[in-house]
Structure 1
Amino acid sequence: MNVALVVLDTLRYDAFQRHFDWLSGIRFENMWSTGRWTVPVHASLFTGKYPSEIGVHAGNTTLDCSEPTLAETLSEADHTTRGFSNNVNITAPFAFDRGFDFFDGGWRVQNLDTDTFDWETFVTETRNRGPRRYLTGLRRCVTEDCATWPSIKRGALLKLRDLGISEQPDDDGASETLEFVRETTFGSDEFLFVNLMEAHWPYEPPQSYRRSDSDSLQDGDSYNGLAATLGEGPPIDSAILERAYDDSVRYLADVYEEIFSVLREDFDYIVTLSDHGEMFGEHGVWQHAYGVHPALTHVPCIISGEGVPDQQCAAPTSLLDVHQTILTLMEEDAPSDGRVLPTESVGEWVAKQSDSTTDESYACFAEHHGINRRSAARVAANGGDPSEADHELAGVATASGYGYETPDGLSMAEIVSERDGEHTASMEKFRNRLATHRKRIQRRTVEETATTSSVIQQRLESLGYA
């Protein structure tokens, strides 16, 4: 049995609906993430636990929990495990390679643990300075404390790509992912994890997909979601940001269609999902910097494969369920807070899951654990007060709706109903659900102690993380 898990990082549910109508399988229209950003959500996908249980969130960004990861469980049972991540946060320095027999990634995650000059961040930060920027970079390779010759070699490769001499398109790693899946000889008992970053800031698809001149994002180097949320907004017009994001998603949809086609040749099941959404000023929030608003936590998810019907599942489901589902498909077992998602008849699955007329027994929670120290330092350096966002919030989705905490109190969002008619729920029911969740969870107390290299710090800054 071969199963692939593909995370389309930062893909909003509504953007998925617009651009991924080609993707077949069971669509989970009421899928909820466990958090607002990459690290805690991937930790949940890998362990089947909420971020507060395993202590991996804004307060600790390393996957150092005692619980076994999905890849560890599968690898120990003699399944081949491979990972290809294009997100700096989901890499070996943060222990997200645990259990993988093979773990690599695209250009953004290369050379994280070496002393080579950080060309990737340099190119991003100097995108509007013309060809002379490479002379500046070469001079820094010689004068700064880095390995000179490897640094110059890396810069030359990036310059060839910039000139179009390299066959690699100018993207955030999807083309390298496509090359990886095309060139890999997969066996008959494999688990593959992939993270694609095309929908993530800095929204730079290949030139042919851009509807605006790249100069319109020239102030993007200073765009940080938390700073914009706690300050006066981003340095770029919101309409330009949304258009650039949509351009990036259009490219992601096209290139993922190619990747998906290759994967279907070797994999029995492919689980495609987003870890979280993106905000463009709704409720005063930008990027995915703060809160558990539904635009962040309501995410797309679809299971595809031979014999999987094209159906919709409107029952509330959680990304925690993906962990248990993959284990079951590969005939393995491990502790998990999730349940097994349907891969055949949705109607039969819903009937088995429900033990009441409204299926109120199952709830999907999302957690916000404040902000990490790198983001806090960025806001403080700009004269802001990071404590305004450094608190806990939570949301809960049931068959009745989605209730979520904000600084102004509890709010409720409409969601897809799995039955005809409306289910009404009082705010008190949502409050009780959240209170019960907090009491049930056995929290792991953590404190961020790990330090990151200057290269990792610069890469994170270029993605708006710090």
Structure 2
Amino acid sequence: MAESVDSPDSSDVDAASANGRDPESHSTVRNVVLVVLDTARATSTGPKTTPNLNRLAADGTHFDNAFATAPWTLPSHASMFTGTYPSEHGTHGGHTYLDDELRTLPESFADSGYETIGVSNNTWITEEFGFDRGFDDLRKGWQYIQSDADMGAVVRGEDLREKLQATRNRLFDGNPLVNAANILYSEALQPAGDDGADRSTTWITNWLDDRDDSRPFFLFCNFIEPHVEYDPPREYAERFLPDGASVDEALAIRQDPRAYDCEDYGLSERDFALLRGLYRAELAYVDEQLGRLRAALEDAGEWEDTLFVVCGDHGEHIGDHGFFGHQYNLYDTLINVPLVCHGGPFTDGGQREDLVQLLDLPATLLETAGIDDPELRAQWSSRSFHPASDDDPRDAVFAEYVAPQPSIDRLEARFDELPDRVYEYDRRLRAVRTREYKYVRGDDGYDRLHDVETDPLERDDIAAREPEQVRAMQRRLEERFDPLAEAGESGEVEMREGTKERLADLGYL
């Protein structure tokens, strides 16, 4: 087990108590680091692909059955930050702003006396969408010059048309010269094979070296490299491509998930084999950055006093179930994510097979840090998986897909005519998963049931053969959520007034 940190001095104890920290708790950590490997699916991590993550797992605690609440970045991070499900926090493809009335994990750490630092390489996780609350500094990895004017909409553009439209809309927000420089950097000059991870790790290393703040810190970092487009450094790609394949051949494959899903072009089995090689290479590259982060914490003398948590925010389809990307469904390929914790009670914790969710992170991190936050606790559905927690273990996990992203309207604007199957995706989905069964139901009557012990790849739908089990799983969903029929035909969740006002300001309503 890791050594306990020295007892805080009396001034630390007084400050901690005043802000909700309990210095007499069973916590043995001073700092908390949360690293998100964007688009990392659990089944693609391992000794060859992610050796540093495996080393961390061997020294800490590895969770085999960790699940996201949603299959894409925005709602998944909202759940991690608030401890709530998508239908509770209301942040999804149709409503993209995190409600100001919701308490967030960084706010809790900030109010408990922590220095709070965020480094985001995903353009959804910014102040534009409400994720800056509680951070002393939230840096944007796609900006060469840090600026309040966010050109992330250009980066998020699905095609050249959307990128040009975003440029026209945003260029004169703030300093147009700075904005132009940031657009030029993100779209043309950013180093090949890196989407911000190297600069982020270097910045964090320098920050650790230079900080003279005596406070503990909460550090959040999102690495986005495993996200499309897969463009790993060539030396990594060469290690993971099939025999006889060249890096140039792999990189020449069109990577446009929305166009593929809309049948605008096709991909062969070999194409997908090459894309899977590039994807694993991206994971290997970002795993190297993970090793650098650990080394930086060790060199700064902070490692033994830090809870270090690494997870994926969602997974990825690379030909699985006929999809490319991470939209439109709730297969385990998208919601089963890696989760490893190291530090304090999680050191030498071994391999755990209990069901946990990413929305359990707030309860777990705060308990491990010795923080009690009644306001955050009052809103959350979070359960601590701290080894000494009094919270009941989960016998089921849940996930939701509230609205397509991009919307069907955006797809029609881009492709004119859409295949019939794409219109089927314009629905709200909910999933419940136990150790034995996985059930998914849509607000259009769609459903499927799988025995995940014998059918872990979810290929055999047994809903028609096991109606009693279907009814039992439906009851589980309705115990957790309101019936899908109450969501309305649009699939929208009921928003808080603060969210409605903000969305109106942004032009969404």
> Structure 2: which amino acid aligns with 1:180?
W
User: Alignment partner for residue 445 of structure 1, among 494, 505, 509?
Assistant: 494
Q: State the distance in 1 between where 2:46 and 2:63 align.
A: 12
Q: Secondary structure at the match of 2:429?
A: strand
Q: Secondary structure at the match of 1:23?
A: helix
Kept in 2: contact 1:56–1:65 (CA 8 A) = no
Displacement of 1:116 after TM fit? 8.0
TM-score computed with the length of structure 2 as normaliser: 0.71
> Is the counterpart of residue 94 in structure 1 residue 138 in structure 2?
no
5 Å-filtered alignment, 1:387-398, equals: 387-398=423-434
Aligned to 2:400: 367
Deviations 1:6-44 (A, max 9, x none): 111100101123523222311111111101100001000
Q: Secondary structure at the match of 1:371?
A: coil
Deviations 1:425-444 (A, max 9, x none): 93332222112222389985
Q: Secondary structure at the match of 2:438?
A: strand
Aligned to 1:14: 43
Aligned to 2:206: 183
Aligned to 2:227: 200
Of the structure 1 ranges 96-105 and 427-436, higher mean CA displacement relative to structure 2 is found in: 427-436
User: Alignment partner for residue 174 of structure 1, among 197, 203, 220?
Assistant: 197
Q: State the distance in 1 between where 2:387 and 2:360 align.
A: 12
> Is the counterpart of residue 39 in structure 1 residue 74 in structure 2?
yes
Q: State the distance in 2 between where 1:67 and 1:28 align.
A: 28
Cα distance change of structure 1 residues 118 and 207 upon mapping to structure 2, 3 Å threshold: farther
Cα distance change of structure 1 residues 145 and 399 upon mapping to structure 2, 3 Å threshold: closer
Q: State the distance in 2 between where 1:439 and 1:109 align.
A: 45
Aligned to 1:338: 382
User: Alignment partner for residue 258 of structure 1, among 281, 286, 292?
Assistant: 292
Deviations 1:326-373 (A, max 9, x none): 1212323222211111357xxxx7xx766xxxx7x6321100112145
Displacement of 1:154 after TM fit? 5.5
Q: State the distance in 2 between where 1:440 and 1:187 align.
A: 50
Deviations 1:373-412 (A, max 9, x none): 5564134421216532111111112233333337752222
User: Alignment partner for residue 88 of structure 2, among 53, 61, 65?
Assistant: 53
Aligned to 1:377: 410
User: Alignment partner for residue 81 of structure 1, among 102, 116, 124?
Assistant: 116
Kept in 1: contact 2:230–2:279 (CA 8 A) = yes
Cα distance change of structure 1 residues 440 and 452 upon mapping to structure 2, 3 Å threshold: closer
Cα distance change of structure 1 residues 305 and 375 upon mapping to structure 2, 3 Å threshold: farther
Q: Secondary structure at the match of 2:309?
A: strand
Q: Secondary structure at the match of 2:55?
A: coil
> Is the counterpart of residue 319 in structure 1 residue 358 in structure 2?
yes
Displacement of 1:251 after TM fit? 0.9
Cα distance change of structure 1 residues 370 and 121 upon mapping to structure 2, 3 Å threshold: closer
Q: Secondary structure at the match of 2:101?
A: coil
Q: State the distance in 2 between where 1:195 and 1:284 align.
A: 28
Q: State the distance in 2 between where 1:445 and 1:274 align.
A: 28
Kept in 1: contact 2:344–2:368 (CA 8 A) = no
Kept in 1: contact 2:32–2:306 (CA 8 A) = yes
Q: State the distance in 1 between where 2:311 and 2:332 align.
A: 16
Cα distance change of structure 1 residues 90 and 160 upon mapping to structure 2, 3 Å threshold: closer
> Structure 1: which amino acid aligns with 2:480?
H
> Structure 2: which amino acid aligns with 1:30?
N
Cα distance change of structure 1 residues 27 and 379 upon mapping to structure 2, 3 Å threshold: farther
Deviations 1:198-238 (A, max 9, x none): 111111122322234346434636x134x422436656822
Aligned to 1:128: none
Kept in 1: contact 2:117–2:138 (CA 8 A) = yes
Aligned to 2:107: 72
Kept in 2: contact 1:369–1:390 (CA 8 A) = no
> Structure 2: which amino acid aligns with 1:6?
V
Aligned to 2:257: 224
User: Alignment partner for residue 473 of structure 2, among 430, 440, 445?
Assistant: 430
Kept in 2: contact 1:83–1:103 (CA 8 A) = yes
Deviations 1:280-301 (A, max 9, x none): 2222222101111011111111
Q: State the distance in 2 between where 1:370 and 1:28 align.
A: 29
Cα distance change of structure 1 residues 31 and 364 upon mapping to structure 2, 3 Å threshold: same
Kept in 1: contact 2:385–2:391 (CA 8 A) = no
> Structure 1: which amino acid aligns with 2:494?
T
Kept in 2: contact 1:209–1:251 (CA 8 A) = yes
Q: State the distance in 2 between where 1:179 and 1:81 align.
A: 18
Q: State the distance in 2 between where 1:435 and 1:156 align.
A: 49
Identity fraction in percent: 27
Q: State the distance in 2 between where 1:440 and 1:3 align.
A: 37
Aligned residues: 412
Q: State the distance in 1 between where 2:450 and 2:230 align.
A: 30
TM-score computed with the length of structure 1 as normaliser: 0.77
> Structure 2: which amino acid aligns with 1:332?
D
Deviations 1:223-265 (A, max 9, x none): 134x422436656822222121111111111221111232354
> Structure 1: which amino acid aligns with 2:428?
E
> Structure 2: which amino acid aligns with 1:399?
R
Q: Provide structure 2 residue ranges, at least 5 long, that are not aligned to the other structure.
A: 1-29, 239-245, 455-465, 488-492
> Is the counterpart of residue 297 in structure 1 residue 335 in structure 2?
yes
Q: Provide structure 1 residue ranges, at least 5 long, that are not aligned to the other structure.
A: 126-136, 163-167, 417-423, 454-466
> Structure 2: which amino acid aligns with 1:430?
M
Q: State the distance in 1 between where 2:188 and 2:327 align.
A: 35
Kept in 1: contact 2:123–2:155 (CA 8 A) = no
Kept in 1: contact 2:261–2:324 (CA 8 A) = yes
Cα distance change of structure 1 residues 414 and 450 upon mapping to structure 2, 3 Å threshold: farther
